[in-house]
Structure 1
Amino acid sequence: MARAVSTQRKLTFTAIAWLIGLIIFFPILWTFLTSFKTEGEAIASPPSFLFFHWTTENYAEVQSRSDYLSHFMNSVAISFGSTLLGLAIAIPAAWAMAFSPTKRTKDVLMWMLSTKMMPPVGALIPIYLLFKNFGLLDTRSGLIVVLMLMNLPIIVWMLYTYFKEIPGEILEAARMDGATLMKEIVYVLTPMAVPGIASTVLLNIILSWNEAFWTLNLTTSNAAPLTTFIASYSSPEGLFYAKLSAASTMAIAPIVILGWFSQKQLVRGLTFGAVK
């Protein structure tokens, strides 16, 4: 029997949730507001919140100085490409670990996850040399591969968790009906795990979109995504806060909009299998 929750308690938890949400969202809101200020107003003390001279000159200057569309397309290609390539590798791997486990399956999963604990700078020099020798510096394909490898442990872990919630008897029934291994994965397993796969795709697109370390060190201009676009507004003379805020707003707007429209699917996928 479910325990009744009082109205006062609901209101309290709702207020706390809204407060936490506003605190988390405030830096994004402040960046958005700063993008419409002049450089003088951006560094004014005390700062003005809403009552300032609104201007769009920062966006115009950012667009005239940098090719936003080129950086945007690079971000789209890199984030979606690395995620799809990761899925192509992770789905069979997660299937094998979930439905044909061995004594070392958990050890392999823990080892994969442990690779995320290493600082990326620890692997920078060998990866940079490999990219240089194979001609992959400042290329989309190079970044797709390296970001896929960086996020692959997370993709495998998430898919493994979702696949474990699917009854193995269903797959056995498909085999008895003559389904091959590929048909079993494509036509039986994948459709049943759509919520989990969708949340995995969304999360990894966000991680790839926001990746800065590898994009800043492995690209210069041709394959530079929006993270490099933002970094270009930091100079030895100092930070141009208003222009930097405009560039940041233009860079994060697409992924914020994507997250907003897909939040129900993301929550559904992240809670997939949590309640029997």
Structure 2
Amino acid sequence: MFRRFFKSTSPLRPSPFGATISYVLLIIWAGVVLFPLYWLVVTSLKLPIQVNEGPFYLPFIDYTPSLHAWQYIFVDLRNDTLRPYMNTVVVALTSSALSLSLGTAAAYGLTRFVYRPKLGSVLVVLGLIALAVVAIGMGVPWQLAVLVAIVLAILAVQTLNRRFQRSLQNQDVAFWLISQRILPPVAVVIPIYVLFQQLGLLDTKT
């Protein structure tokens, strides 16, 4: 009887002892994962003095809950709270839909067609994009910087495309797209933030 407690009937069904240990570990880990969310909720129900004098863990036992923080956010600072939130929702939904559309189109194109872009032309275009970003950061109007970059890119590709020998293939393009998934987000967020700051687009829906 005691041995059956440690005996597994199949590889997919652990022994009662193993199952007990697994559930105990899962419960402990669930507590570790969920505790920050619990702490976030209970902290929102505290007064500033309770936050500073804490920690207080249990509402109605360690302290008296208060909706002061929620009133401050949604009543006193209603416009300053809802406007950035709605901007975030609009930008998130728009960027997600745009990314999904472009990603689907790119996947379809890479599957159905064969591309042979010249490596030199790609590097020239990327270099001009970088120069346009630098110019915008230095105070050049973004409309002018983008227009000049597009014109120079067209001229450079038409002029130098024949001199470049090495071509990229579909798998190179696909690998580049997939490799962007391992790019640290902060490496992209900071330049985009600075660019939007220079363009006056921070905290807007455009």
Shorter-chain TM range is 0.5 to 0.7
**2:65 — aligned with what?**
54
Decide whether aligned partners of structure 1 residues 79 and 2 sit closer, same or farther in structure 2, where only a CA change above 3 A counts.
Answer: same
Determine which structure has more spread, i.e. the larger CA radius of gyration.
Answer: 2
**1:119 — aligned with what?**
187
Alpha-carbon shift at residue 126 of structure 1 (Å): 6.1
SS at match of 1:109: helix
Question: Could you tell me how far apart the structure 2 residues matched to 1:118 and 1:106 are?
Answer: 23
Question: Could you tell me how far apart the structure 2 residues matched to 1:36 and 1:72 are?
Answer: 21
Decide whether aligned partners of structure 1 residues 103 and 74 sit closer, same or farther in structure 2, where only a CA change above 3 A counts.
Answer: closer
* Superposition CA RMSD, Å: 3.0
- 5+ long unaligned stretches in structure 2: 1-9, 115-169
Quick one: which of 70, 82, 106 aligns to 1:69?
Answer: 82
Alpha-carbon shift at residue 32 of structure 1 (Å): 0.9
Cα-to-partner distance string for 1:159-191 (whole Å, 9 max, x where unaligned): xxxxxxxxxxxxxxxxxxxxxxxxxxxxxxxxx
Decide whether aligned partners of structure 1 residues 139 and 61 sit closer, same or farther in structure 2, where only a CA change above 3 A counts.
Answer: closer
**1:91 — aligned with what?**
104
**1:13 — aligned with what?**
22
After the TM superposition, which parts of structure 1 deviate over 4 Å for at least 4 consecutive aligned residues? 97-101
Quick one: which of 177, 184, 189 aligns to 1:109?
Answer: 177
- 5+ long unaligned stretches in structure 1: 142-276
Decide whether aligned partners of structure 1 residues 94 and 18 sit closer, same or farther in structure 2, where only a CA change above 3 A counts.
Answer: farther
Quick one: which of 75, 92, 95 aligns to 1:79?
Answer: 92
One-letter amino acid of the structure 1 residue matched with residue 38 of structure 2: L
**1:138 — aligned with what?**
203
1:151-162 to structure 2, matched below 5 A, reads none
Is the contact between residue 87 and residue 203 of structure 2 (CA under 8 Å) also seen in structure 1? no
One-letter amino acid of the structure 2 residue matched with residue 90 of structure 1: G
One-letter amino acid of the structure 2 residue matched with residue 119 of structure 1: A
Decide whether aligned partners of structure 1 residues 115 and 78 sit closer, same or farther in structure 2, where only a CA change above 3 A counts.
Answer: same
1:81-230 to structure 2, matched below 5 A, reads 81-97=94-110, 102-116=170-184, 119-120=187-188, 123-124=191-192, 127-128=195-196, 132=199, 136-141=201-206
Question: Could you tell me how far apart the structure 2 residues matched to 1:2 and 1:99 are?
Answer: 44
Q: What is the total number of aligned residue pairs between the two structures?
A: 137
Alpha-carbon shift at residue 112 of structure 1 (Å): 2.6
Question: Could you tell me how far apart the structure 1 residues matched to 2:82 and 2:185 are?
Answer: 34
One-letter amino acid of the structure 1 residue matched with residue 29 of structure 2: I
Greater relative contact order: 1 or 2 (C-alpha under 8 angstroms, separation 6 or more)?
1
Question: Could you tell me how far apart the structure 2 residues matched to 1:37 and 1:137 are?
Answer: 32
Decide whether aligned partners of structure 1 residues 96 and 12 sit closer, same or farther in structure 2, where only a CA change above 3 A counts.
Answer: farther
SS at match of 2:45: coil
Is the contact between residue 42 and residue 57 of structure 2 (CA under 8 Å) also seen in structure 1? yes
Alpha-carbon shift at residue 73 of structure 1 (Å): 2.4
Q: Identity of paired residues, percent?
A: 18
Decide whether aligned partners of structure 1 residues 9 and 138 sit closer, same or farther in structure 2, where only a CA change above 3 A counts.
Answer: same
One-letter amino acid of the structure 1 residue matched with residue 204 of structure 2: T
1:224-263 to structure 2, matched below 5 A, reads none
